[in-house]
Structure 1
Amino acid sequence: MSRLGRLINRYVRPYWGLLSVVIVLQIIATIMSLYLPTLNARIIDEGVVTGDTDYIWRTGAVMLLLSAVQAAAQIGAVWAGANTAMQFGRDVRTAIFDKALSFSTKEMNRFGAPSLITRNTNDVQQVQMLVLMTCVMLVSAPITMVGGVFMALREDVGLSWIILVAVIVLGAGIGVLVTKMGPLFQAMQTKIDTLNRVLREQITGIRVVRAFVREPHESRRFERANADLVDTTTTVGRLMAFLFPFVTFIMNISTVGVMWFGAHRIDTGDLQVGQLTAFISYLMQILISVMMTTMLLMLAPRAAVSADRIMEVLDTETSVAPPKQPAATPAAKGVVEFDHVSFAYPGAESPVLKDLSFRLTPGRTTAIIGSTGSGKTTLVNLIPRLFDATGGKVLVDGVDVRDYEPDDLWARIGLVPQKPYLFTGTIASNLRYGKPDATEPELWDALRVAQAEDFVYEKDGRLESPIAQGGTNVSGGQRQRLAIARALVKKPSVYVFDDSFSALDVTTDARLRAALEPETADASVLVIAQRVSTITSADEILVLEDGEIVGRGTHEQLLASNPTYQEIVESQLSAEEAAA
């Protein structure tokens, strides 16, 4: 089964009841539409010709009743079909979103945020449109084609060859056009991804663009991506624009043929006027059904491409899958142990982390310092299992992180990432992200510790002050302090600060670290830092270089014995002295 078939089968099946209603109503509407031309022919041949006014009124009343039934059935079928399609779209979007939430950083990097957004919006819309049109047309079109041929043959067999020729020519032309459209639809979806990626980069990096005066360059980049999409879309549009005139031309030529040859048969007495009228009606119904099928065939290639992209996401298994048999959840103590841990990115020539062994215990602060690219952030990502170690084990409270239910593991960890991210909402909604039932006093207490109380209090809405997407309406230092407060509200047993004080001035940094000590006294604290001044009071400092621990001890011990640490300290002191 194709990916399109699998997708539709999986997410339409729950709505089989609605689909059954669609099918029944479409059958009723189609039968009514097929019988009406015959009644019209009888009115002409048996009522008008003979002058039987009563017969005309009776048959006309029946036609009016059948038309009303047809209209009601068609409206009901469209309503049920639209409901099916909309619920299908809702379920697929939810499935893509849930799957994306389960992805590790590896899968997120593979797809990219712009592509995932396109797949969850534009691609779902294409398949949803196919489902809607299928519900509206798929039942009626085949019945109309087959039934129309049967009813037309009842009126006159001699003109049937016109139907055969018209359908063959129409089908061949449509087949050629649809074949050409398939690759174009694939290219079009890829170019929509590219356009979204360029636009997202430009909006996210607007400060960098302006700082380097690159507006003209970025404008040209966008114009190129936009032009590529326009070119492909225009080519598709031209093919589609040619399709409908082609279908109309075939319909008109067929009608002329029926009139021409039918007139001769009327002249010879082989055909009556009413029968010719009915035959033309059935021919139009057959060709319109072919045209409706054409619309489905036009939608199908693009929907198939979109379904491939959707199923690629849904079929991707996360590299950090939950365990089939989770371990018993131990009491949250906050003990984290790295047991000969190594990590290598897929395809990398050498591992980023090599045979790391250390232990975090409650009441102690462990700091990690090292040059850029030494593996500090990768190490941090192993604790909440954003990646899985490729060698050794990471244990939290004595249990391998791979054996935890994800929610149980994450409930123990308060992570403040290197690039703090705030969500659209308010300050309160962001602080409650890890603890939805947190009270206002708890929020203010966390803000006080994070040195964010003053600037929040000064805002008009205070805790209800709005936060824009990503926290772009607050400064970098305020964003960092709010992210720290968010972790404090959660009150986890393990705090992980990944270079979380980099945007703070020295005075604020010192006050924050002093306030943190009593707040985190019963928890394990891991601090990743670039500045030595941030970690001088840590109970243990690990010096990381090229993914290996090359020194461990207190600030004083490392300053006296570790050349790498001495070099880091001297470089920062030199920089500070030079700045002074």
Structure 2
Amino acid sequence: MNDSLRALRFIYGYPLRYRREIVTATVIMFVGLLGNIAVPLLTRYAIDIGILGGKSSTLLVTSLGVLAAGVATTALLHYGKRIRFTVASKAVNDLREDLVRKMMHLGPADVAEASGGRALTRLISDAVSVRGLTNGGLLELLNQILVMLAMLVTALVIDPRTTLLACIPLIFVVIGNFTVQLRLQRAFIELKSQFTKLLAGVGESLANINVVKSYGRESDASERLNKVNEAHTARDGQMKRTYSRWEAILNVVGGLPTPIALWAGGNAVLDGTSTVGDLVAVVALVMMFQMSIHMLAMHVNGAFRSVVTAQRLLRVMDAPSVIASREGTTDVPALGGIRATGIDVDIAGRRILDRAEFHVEPGEAVALTGPTGSGKSTLLHVLARLRDPEAGSVAYDGVEARSYEPAALRRRIVCLPQRQWIFEGTLEENVRFARPEATRQETADAVEAAGLAHIPLDRRFGASTLDLSAGERQRIGLARVLLVDPDILLLDNPTANLDAETEAALLETVLRVRRGRTLVIASQQPAVSDYVDRTISLAPREPSAGATATLAGAARPDGGKDS
């Protein structure tokens, strides 16, 4: 129960950021819904005074009154919904912004819900559900309850006996609806999980379509998605059939109040304890009450589903950030040396680095080598403070890394990933992504220094473009680095998938534009050692001892410095 309440507080916290607008819309719509009660009362007056009393003028006045009540109700409901729609759009945008910001602070292996198709589901399907919650759910549930109470009190004032008899079946309808919603909640959780798997599978298949084609596995990929789709469809159909069955039963029971009101109210008219106008008004109010019960069930359904959605979103929001604290000074001096001491890193329950030690002098060039899985990329991320270790510390020129605000460090220390992200836009836009305030000339200089002078700045690329060679992609990443002009440059396997000639050309470019920067290159390529001052080996221990790592230094063949 506590988890459900926390989930509701979280999901409704977004529309309630605009509390004034929400309260205004709720009050306006409540008044509009109350306007519906005026119609049966005016009709009662028209029958008893106008028709039975023989006053045609009263009929005219009450007819105009019914028209005015209808117009006022429609206008108020329309205006209230417009306010809610505006708030709903803002709430969805706020939630998406918070989700993206949170995902940016997570490690890719640290939370499954924040990667691939699962992240898309959170940002699209789950986030959009806030729109429905803003326009309905608990907010509309409150309105419906208040309006129902107003209808009930009005009907009780007119004819208490008939009203109480007519409401007896509705007690069973309310209890039944809550029971059904509780039973279907588990099915809805499973359904959302299957939808996430389906979207994740589609995204992965499309992103790796060339791999699928290369091995002729199109049929297998399609069959795998079809199985998930069939399971999703079957579960969805089962849930809908269950709900439809219960809905039919509850609708039959829920339809009893009207004939009960006609029978009991009609007898009251025959006994002379009630008027025809009273009978018409009570029957109309009971029918409206029935409709409100139906709307109430819909909003209760929305509330139950909002709990499931919120719990899914909270799995992302509650995931620990890879950077424990984002506070610190923004005044970062020029950096040069790095010292890492006793570094422990766990990812997805696996120890990647165990008591790792690392030291590089200001202006030194170091190669970080080791087999796949030894933790080279993870160590670079720790050195650049893209993630904090579980234990140990990193210091820049003797100052603890956590003393600096992470965003402020990005101008002083840059970690260039192995795979460069090329987005839709021009070469200039792709390079300036690293420093948007850079001038066109500064961008052109960085592009030329990175060895891309043969590509015009205004050449456009598609997202994940395939018309660039692996070397050109790496050089775009290098151009971004040069535009930032950091003091410390960390390169994560920059020569992967490059032939020997391209590898040599890229490394020579890196050294040419280095200009005294501290440089660490993580690589499996032996040739990298020829371009640096010394080499540090990162070697995993035996699996029986755990997936841990140690560091060992090695001298350059030309007699370079040892570690």
- Could you tell me the TM-score, scaled by structure 1's length? 0.88
Give the match's secondary structure for 2:368. Answer: strand
Q: How does 1:139-538 map to 2 (within 5 A)?
A: 139-242=142-245, 244-246=247-249, 248-322=251-325, 324=327, 326=328, 329-345=331-347, 347-348=349-350, 352-362=353-363, 364-454=364-454, 456=455, 462-538=456-532
Structure 2: distance between partners of 1:450 and 1:519: 8
Per-residue Cα deviation, 1:469-513 (whole angstroms, up to 9, x for no partner): 334453333322222222222111111121112233333333333
Amino acid aligned to 2:499: D
The percentage of counterpart residues that share the same residue type is 22
Structure 1: distance between partners of 2:463 and 2:15: 34
Structure 1: distance between partners of 2:352 and 2:490: 23
Cα distance 1:150–1:474, how it changes in 2: closer, same or farther (>3 A)? same
Structure 2: distance between partners of 1:13 and 1:302: 18
Give the match's secondary structure for 1:453. Answer: coil
Give the match's secondary structure for 1:85. Answer: helix
Verify the 8 A CA contact 2:103 2:114 in the aligned structure 1. no
Structure 2: distance between partners of 1:294 and 1:403: 54
Amino acid aligned to 2:237: T
Cα distance 1:514–1:304, how it changes in 2: closer, same or farther (>3 A)? same
Which residue of the partner structure matches residue 72 of structure 1? 75
Structure 2: distance between partners of 1:237 and 1:51: 53
Verify the 8 A CA contact 1:105 1:386 in the aligned structure 2. no
The structural deviation recorded for 1:340 is: 4.8
Structure 2: distance between partners of 1:204 and 1:512: 27
1:60 aligns with 2:63: yes
Verify the 8 A CA contact 2:170 2:254 in the aligned structure 1. no
The structural deviation recorded for 1:157 is: 2.8
Structure 2: distance between partners of 1:214 and 1:3: 45
Structure 2: distance between partners of 1:135 and 1:370: 56
Give the match's secondary structure for 2:531. Answer: coil
* Alignment coverage as a number of residue pairs: 552
Amino acid aligned to 2:316: V
Q: Larger deviation: 249-258 or 522-531?
A: 249-258
Structure 2: distance between partners of 1:418 and 1:438: 24
The structural deviation recorded for 1:187 is: 0.9
The structural deviation recorded for 1:68 is: 2.3
Which residue of the partner structure matches residue 125 of structure 1? 128
Per-residue Cα deviation, 1:522-546 (whole angstroms, up to 9, x for no partner): 2111112222223313221223322
Structure 1: distance between partners of 2:9 and 2:358: 47
Structure 2: distance between partners of 1:330 and 1:269: 90
Structure 1: distance between partners of 2:397 and 2:308: 47
Verify the 8 A CA contact 2:107 2:322 in the aligned structure 1. yes
- Consecutive unaligned residues of structure 2, counting only runs of 5 or more, are 541-548
Structure 2: distance between partners of 1:255 and 1:87: 42
Per-residue Cα deviation, 1:162-187 (whole angstroms, up to 9, x for no partner): 32222112113212221211101111
Per-residue Cα deviation, 1:513-568 (whole angstroms, up to 9, x for no partner): 33333311221111122222233132212233223333322233499x99xxxxxx
Cα distance 1:134–1:301, how it changes in 2: closer, same or farther (>3 A)? closer
Structure 2: distance between partners of 1:345 and 1:480: 27
Amino acid aligned to 1:528: A
The structural deviation recorded for 1:280 is: 1.2
The structural deviation recorded for 1:123 is: 1.5
- Could you tell me the TM-score, scaled by structure 2's length? 0.90
The structural deviation recorded for 1:223 is: 0.7
Amino acid aligned to 2:501: T
Per-residue Cα deviation, 1:320-355 (whole angstroms, up to 9, x for no partner): 12255x25744213322234545454643x653544
Which residue of the partner structure matches residue 556 of structure 2? 554
Cα distance 1:166–1:344, how it changes in 2: closer, same or farther (>3 A)? closer
The structural deviation recorded for 1:18 is: 1.1
Per-residue Cα deviation, 1:219-254 (whole angstroms, up to 9, x for no partner): 111011111221222223224434554454345433
Cα distance 1:469–1:267, how it changes in 2: closer, same or farther (>3 A)? same
Structure 2: distance between partners of 1:532 and 1:71: 76
Q: Larger deviation: 153-162 or 426-435?
A: 153-162
Per-residue Cα deviation, 1:94-153 (whole angstroms, up to 9, x for no partner): 222222222244534574333232222212222331221148733431233212122222
Structure 2: distance between partners of 1:351 and 1:10: 38
Which residue of the partner structure matches residue 81 of structure 1? 84
The structural deviation recorded for 1:200 is: 2.0
Give the match's secondary structure for 1:437. Answer: coil
1:34 aligns with 2:28: no
- RMSD over aligned CA atoms reads 2.7
Per-residue Cα deviation, 1:266-317 (whole angstroms, up to 9, x for no partner): 3333333222211111001111111111111111111111111222322333
Amino acid aligned to 2:42: L
Structure 2: distance between partners of 1:199 and 1:91: 27
Amino acid aligned to 2:552: V
Structure 2: distance between partners of 1:205 and 1:513: 29
Structure 2: distance between partners of 1:390 and 1:37: 69
The structural deviation recorded for 1:263 is: 3.4
Amino acid aligned to 1:422: I
Give the match's secondary structure for 1:556. Answer: coil
Which residue of the partner structure matches residue 17 of structure 1? 20
Give the match's secondary structure for 2:522. Answer: strand
Give the match's secondary structure for 1:166. Answer: helix
Amino acid aligned to 2:430: N
Q: How does 1:77-116 map to 2 (within 5 A)?
A: 77-105=80-108, 107-108=110-111, 111-116=114-119
